[in-house]
Structure 1
Amino acid sequence: MGVKDEQRDRAVTLLAAHLLQTGLAQTSLRQLAAAAGISDRMLLYYFADKAEALAAAMARVAEELAGVLSTALPEGRRWPPAELVQLAGASTTQPEMRRFMRLWVEVVAAAARGERPFGEIAEQIMAGFRQWVDARLQLPAGADRAAVASAVIAVIDGLALVDICIGKEATARAAKALSFFQAQKG
């Protein structure tokens, strides 16, 4: 890895930490450069524009989140969808995960408002997590794996929203209530 690549990687790490700490509130070019410990001009030397810097930082955040989740849900093991939802939901609503989930909610909200580059960022992160979930799903042959993975993500993200909006107790009750839907199926 060359010096430029090493410096860019260092900037991405610092930008990811900045986003996890501050959310999207402080993402002007000047604020991002300060968070990376470099000048505006140097930030634009490492990245084509602010959008590329944000995309690289969010990709690093997603990698970090996937790493944390992989501790609870290791690669190589598969779970039925309901069990995967319960395990992943329990993991993503832990206090140390709130910063990831809050940032994700901000990115999704910015994408919904049509703010550039958040639509593309959300799409890339969602595709990565759909693959991550798919690799851990135990499904019968012929099942629509992409659709089930998307549904699992929707429930997990929903639990995170409940956690953010009304707290841990309501989230635990909501997660427990998911078994009601499973019972109604049979």
Structure 2
Amino acid sequence: MVKKHSREEILSVALEAALEDGLSRLTFGRLASRLKISDRMVVYYFPTKDELVTSVLSVVGDRLQHVLAAAFSMPMNDHRSLVATAWPVVAQPECDPLFGLYFEAIGQATAGIEPYKSVASHLVEGWIEWLGGFVVGDQDYRRREAAAAVAVLDGLLLMRLLGGSDLADTASTSLLDHR
């Protein structure tokens, strides 16, 4: 008897596969093999690879927002406050695989490859809008400060993934030093 999987179950296994092997190795065939189902069942829920990748990246964004949500319990004045609050949370080793997928998507986006180009733009825009909700001030100020925070955090996270946690922590200390 063939086990029938829901869209959510397939998406969960797709995320696991992407976290282990990367987005570039995520295929219908590999995913179906992991689930021990026909690749047609995967295609039933995700008609294109673009839709599958987009869904996986959406889950990554949701998970990262969930991790950060607890850190932002009070309004912030500027991007430095956002970064100072977010950095200890996002710099945890358990977040590294999620940011690895995020940066894989960003890399593909910079090469103009779809769906990454569209998805990455939406992810970044979503982060700016979400973080802006934690900043005190008018709409333009909140957006500017949230964009600055995303830029700093992305830079630090990329440094963490490529150069190690000590280098990124040193850079964060220097960037956040108010002297």
What TM-score, normalized to structure 1?
Answer: 0.84
CA deviations over 1:107-145 (Å, ceiling 9, x no partner): 00011112221111112211221122111123x336432
Q: Cα RMSD over matched residues?
A: 2.0
AA matched with 2:118: E
Residue 48 of structure 1: CA displacement?
2.2
1:38: Cα distance to partner? 3.1
Gaps of 5+ in 2: none
Aligned to 1:70: 69
- Tell me the CA shift for residue 42 of structure 1: 0.9
Equivalence for 2:175: 178
Instruction: Give the Cα separation in 2 of the matches to 1:179 and 1:59.
Output: 30
TM-score (norm 2): 0.87
Kindly, what percent of the aligned residue pairs are identical? 27
Tell me, yes or no, if the aligned pair for 1:93 and 1:160 is still in contact at 8 Å.
Answer: yes
Q: Say if 2:88 is the partner of 1:90.
A: yes
Q: Deviations over 1:76-106 (max 9, x none)?
A: x211221111121222111111111111111
Question: CA separation of 1:115/1:143 partners in 2, compared to 1, >3 Å: closer, same or farther?
Answer: closer
CA distance in structure 1 between the partners assigned to 2:124 and 2:164 by the alignment: 24
For residues 154 and 36 of structure 2, the distance between their equivalents in structure 1, rounded to whole angstroms, comes to 33
- 1:158 alignment partner in structure 2: 155
- Which residue in 1 is equivalent to 2:100? 102
1-side partners of 2:125 and 2:90: how far apart? 18
How do 1:24-173 residues align onto structure 2 when only pairs under 5 Å count? 24-74=23-73, 77-80=74-77, 81-138=79-136, 140-141=137-138, 143-173=140-170
**Equivalent position amino acid for 1:133 in 2:** L
Q: Deviations over 1:9-42 (max 9, x none)?
A: 2211221222222222412231233345532111
